Structure 1
Amino acid sequence: MFKKFNPKEDVSSSTSLKSSVQRNIRSSLLTQIPFLTQASYRDPSTAPEENKQEAVVAPAAPTEEEEPSGGKKGGGKKGGKGKGGKGKGKDKEDKKDKDEEDGGEGGDAGGGAVIDEIWPKKEALGLTKCHDRISIFTVQQVPLFFQHFDGPFIPTLKLLHRYPNMLPHVQIDRGAIKFLLAGANMMAPGLLSAGGKLPDGLAKDEVVAIHAEGKEHACGIGKLVASSEEIKKAAKGVAVEVVCWIGDDLWKVDTIGL
């Protein structure tokens, strides 16, 4: 699909989608890729910074109480007023922190779903239409998903590397790697050999991540031409139609469109 893709020549138009269209696409993505509904991961390294802030605030309290006890009556009132002022200031800071947790960046990172981390609700979804009825969906010009005709939404390989469990996995043996990286479809023997893996229960046309024996990350993405049971029964012929792979022309694109 992206073996000979040139953004300068193959892009026909680029636009920012209407809100209603974006909502429909978001709903379709959540239905097609259930992984996107899972809670996003929050980096625990933020905890020490919060503890550090608490440690800085704590010593201030004794200083405020000591000042009025040794001063004059007027000074005591002044100190009390100052204490009240600081109390209000702290309340404002607490409220600000709470607002940031509820709707700020920290809140999105900690409590949102994966889809919100990939595509924040405040960000517009861009559509870049290409030749051969290929649509590429972007956020801040970064390609995230693509679609051929009215087919399923497929994550880019770079996005899949960020979220390896987004798609079900199949695995090819070492001998099939060079063919995959040349854009060839994957044959059944490469999945059914000792170095290959084909899980049960996968349906025809299901989008899968293509892993390779001895490699950490997926090397490509494809669609099953038949169910896993049918592929195992036939044990020959094409098993996975490859749609993108490491090194293809989409892999080389960092930004595109608006």
Structure 2
Amino acid sequence: MYKKHLSKKEKKELVRKLASSGLTRFAELFKQCEIAILLDYDKFAIYVADGVPVLFRRVGDDRFYPTLYILNVMLNRGEAPPIPSLVVDQGAVKPLLNGADVMAPGVTKFTKEFEEGEVVAVLEPDEKYFIVVGYALMSSAKARSVQRGKVVKNVHRLNDVIWRECLNIIKRNV
């Protein structure tokens, strides 16, 4: 891992990319933050704003994903998630936490419509916390009409390496 403070120019470019990818709430957060840091690991990079792990990117993937840490902080504050989300049944939770993709039969509710390729978050059955972040393999409209198949590719889940690094960042306060 290497740590890099983003220059004003790099921060501005990050804000532009976030705004163009529909993550305007995060663009505003990075625009207003005092210190923006990039923590670069072998397979992913975590973007930290004022000591809080906010976003990550995987090597070879152009998408920005919010960390489960920031999504759960927002949920606990009563803020609406900045990305579409869906709810799964109890039977889907354990496989998802082990890295499985979200399958159509396990989805019980869509909180917001989404298209194929969009970044999506997954809530546990009681809707108290997010357990997975990934990208849609089919639109929410199509997912409602099918009985089988993968709906969301699981990219980040509770207790994975990104989650553990986020907790380490908070403990260290980069």
Same fold (TM over 0.5): yes
Q: CA RMSD in A?
A: 2.5
Query: Of 109, 120, 144, which residue of structure 1 is paired with 2:54?
Result: 144
CA pair 198-139 structure 1, distance change in 2 beyond 3 A? closer
Deviations 1:224-244 (A, max 9, x none): 111122333432121111111
Normalising by the residue count of structure 1, what TM-score does the alignment of the two structures yield? 0.56
CA distance in 2, matches of 1:16, 1:257: 14
CA distance in 2, matches of 1:122, 1:238: 37
Check if 1:125 corresponds to 2:36.
Answer: yes
Give the aligned residue type for 1:231.
A
Q: Which residue of 1 aligns with 2:82?
A: 166
Q: Which runs of 5 or more residues in structure 2 are unaligned?
A: 76-80
Q: Which runs of 5 or more residues in structure 1 are unaligned?
A: 1-10, 38-113
Structure 1 or 2: larger strand share? 2
CA distance in 1, matches of 2:93, 2:164: 19
CA distance in 1, matches of 2:120, 2:54: 16
Normalising by the residue count of structure 2, what TM-score does the alignment of the two structures yield? 0.80
The answer to whether the Cα contact below 8 Å between 2:85 and 2:112 also exists between their aligned partners in 1 is: no
Give the aligned residue type for 2:15.
R
Give the aligned residue type for 1:212.
E
Q: Map 1:4-19 onto structure 2 (within 5 A).
A: 11=1, 13-19=2-8
The share of aligned pairs that are identical, in percent, is 24
CA distance in 2, matches of 1:237, 1:28: 31
The answer to whether the Cα contact below 8 Å between 2:87 and 2:127 also exists between their aligned partners in 1 is: no
Q: Which residue of 1 aligns with 2:158?
A: 246
Higher relative contact order (CA 8 A, sep 6+): 1
Question: Paired residues, what number?
Answer: 164
The answer to whether the Cα contact below 8 Å between 2:84 and 2:112 also exists between their aligned partners in 1 is: no
181-190 or 232-241, which deviates more: 232-241
Structure 1 or 2: larger helix share? 1
| Structure with max Cα Rg | 1
